[in-house]
Amino acid sequence: MNTLMLAVVWFTMALSYYGLIVWFPDMIRYLQEEAYESRVKVFDEEEVSHFTFNFTLENQIHRNGEYRNDKFIGMKFKEVRFEDSLFEDCYFEDVTSSETFFENCTIISTVFYNTDLYEHKFINCRLINTTFMKEKEGCHLDFEEDNDFLIYLVSFLGSLSVLPGNIISALLMDKIGRIKMIGEWDCGCGGSMLISAVCCFFLFFGNSESAMIGWQCLFCGASIAAWNALDVITVELYPTDKRATAFGILNGLCKFGAILGNSIFASFVGITKVVPILLASSALVGGGLLALRLPETRDQVLM
């Protein structure tokens, strides 16, 4: 019976923890993209001639524009779309681009020299007397540099936030016990999982990047105590001849819960926050309450 309860606790912990660990960066990226799209600048029917573009164009949409005898030199396009526009007798040189596309455009007598404006960036375009010379070599992919840096930073902060929980749980594990909650903080898995569930609930109010990062750090810091307590209980609950087998089976169940959590939580990014938050909170509360029924192994002698 103890094995079954322990398996459920391992599974619910893995489902919620690993699901949210993947969900946090994806959700932050979604909030970034949503804010970025809200600031997009739209230019309709602009007419530009004999002008030299030598600066960065970012987060713009140009519709039904006409560009004649213009030069685009030493510049960068970032998140720019040209739709139903005309380019005639233009010259592009040393141009780099990220997430930039030309859609339904007509390009006449235009030269592209040393650019990364490859064929796939021209969607349903008419190219008349257009020349591509010395395309940029190497692997040129569209990277969202700022977003990528923040995602790595979020992951780093999440990993760093478990340090206080590790220290506290190491100092208080034997003093407080593995299971019961004492005072405001409990390093037993029941208390830690319930505290983590409360953190999940407050994710309903996380409508900004900073709020999501803050709640992620709190969640990771609170839940690490549960992982430490689960490891200790699993070791102390089984005799030596069964310990490795039990630990392996429970870890395998944990990995299955992690895969399931990743798949479920990631599928709701940009759709709704309700399902991931309620699922994680319910799993943590259920697992935490069930963990209270496990035997306390603090004073148990290893066999």
Query: Residue 186: is its pLDDT beyond 50?
Result: no
Q: Which residues contact 123 (CB under 8 A, 6 or more apart)?
A: 101, 102, 103, 104
Nearest to 121 by CA among 91, 87, 80: 80
For the chain, the domains span 2-34+145-291, 39-133
CB 10 within 8 A of CB 257: yes
Q: In CATH, what is the architecture of 39-133?
A: 3 Solenoid (2.160)
User: What is the per-residue pLDDT across 36-48, written as a single tens digit (0 to 9) for each?
Assistant: 778 889 999 999 9
**pLDDT computed for residue 159 by the predictor:** 81
Three-class secondary structure of residue 108 per DSSP: strand
Comparing CA positions, the residue from 150, 112, 147, 149 lying closest to residue 129 is 112
**Cβ-count burial 58-93 (b if 16+ within 10 Å, e if not):** bebebbebebeebbbeebebbbbbbbebbbbebbbb
pLDDT > 70? residue 215: yes
Read off the pTM: 0.68
Reported as a single tens digit per residue, the pLDDT across 104-126 is 999 999 999 999 888 889 999 99
Whether the Cβ atoms of residue 266 and residue 22 lie closer than 8 Å to each other: yes
User: What span, in angstroms and rounded, lies between the C-alpha atoms of 280 and 274?
Assistant: 10
Residues 6+ positions from 98 with CB-CB distance below 8 Å: 76, 77, 78, 79, 142, 143, 144
Mean pLDDT (whole number) for 58-73: 94
Distance CA 280, CA 30 (A): 20
Neighbours of 32 (CB within 10 A): 16
CATH code linked to domain 2-34+145-291: 1.20.1250.20
Q: Is the pLDDT of residue 53 over 50?
A: yes
In whole angstroms, what is the distance from residue 193 CA to residue 274 CA? 19
Fill in the amino acid letter for 36.
Answer: Y
Report helix, strand or coil for 60.
strand
